[in-house]
């Protein structure tokens, strides 16, 4: 009875299952890394908009400080004129701040960053793909083991046992040749919020 079940998968179907199983197991860890890269990109964009806004604001403040020093040195200005110019500079500073906030839109950049972090935290598709890949790999190896004889069967049995024990131990296959024990690989994205 068992022989007939494995005869259905013998040959090309077993080889396809092994190749597909290995492919899924190797590609599954890429999904969280890809999402972690999008989180890092969104975080970098947020930091960049913050830095550009600070640079532009500092340049504007330096320009206003130079104008204020020039007003202080000008003996022809009355105290009322100086006050009017100081008030005008304050209004210009507020207008520049509003303009920079619209230009760099930090809220939108931070929202994208937080949404990318949320998407990464909820990622589970790689676990399903990894599980499916391991099942296909084990089924393909099991089929080849039962359908072969002699030395070939012993070799397939050893490979099957190694794959089975690595699956039970939770060793994740990884394209960068970094084995991870236990659960899924951790994100290297900093979780500090400003």
Over residues 87-116, the mean pLDDT reads: 89
SS3 180: strand
The tens digit of pLDDT for each residue in 67-97 reads: 888 888 887 878 888 888 889 999 999 999 9
The tens digit of pLDDT for each residue in 41-59 reads: 989 999 999 999 999 999 9
> Is the confidence at residue 111, as pLDDT, over 80?
yes
Largest CA distance in the chain: 109
Provide DSSP, 11-55.
Answer: THHHHHHHHHHHHHHHHTTHHHHHHHHHHHHHHHHHHHHHHHHHH
């Amino acid at each position: 009875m068992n022989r007939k079940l494995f005869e259905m998968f013998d040959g090309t179907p077993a080889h396809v299952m092994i190749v597909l199983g290995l492919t899924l197991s190797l590609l599954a860890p890429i999904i969280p890394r890809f999402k972690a890269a999008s989180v890092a990109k969104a975080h970098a964009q947020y930091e960049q908009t913050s830095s550009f806004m600070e640079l532009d604001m500092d340049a504007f403040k330096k320009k206003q400080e130079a104008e204020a020093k020039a007003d202080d040195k000008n003996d022809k200005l009355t105290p009322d004129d100086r006050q009017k110019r100081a008030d005008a500079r304050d209004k210009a500073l507020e207008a520049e701040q509003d303009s920079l906030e619209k230009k760099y839109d930090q809220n939108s950049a931070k929202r994208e960053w937080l949404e990318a972090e949320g998407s990464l935290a909820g990622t589970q598709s790689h676990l399903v793909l990894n599980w499916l890949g391991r099942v296909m790999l084990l089924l393909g190896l099991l089929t080849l083991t039962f359908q072969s004889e002699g030395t070939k069967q012993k070799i397939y049995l050893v490979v099957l046992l190694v794959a089975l024990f690595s699956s039970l131990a939770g060793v994740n296959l990884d394209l960068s040749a970094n084995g991870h024990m236990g659960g899924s690989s951790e994100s290297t994205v900093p979780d500090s919020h400003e």
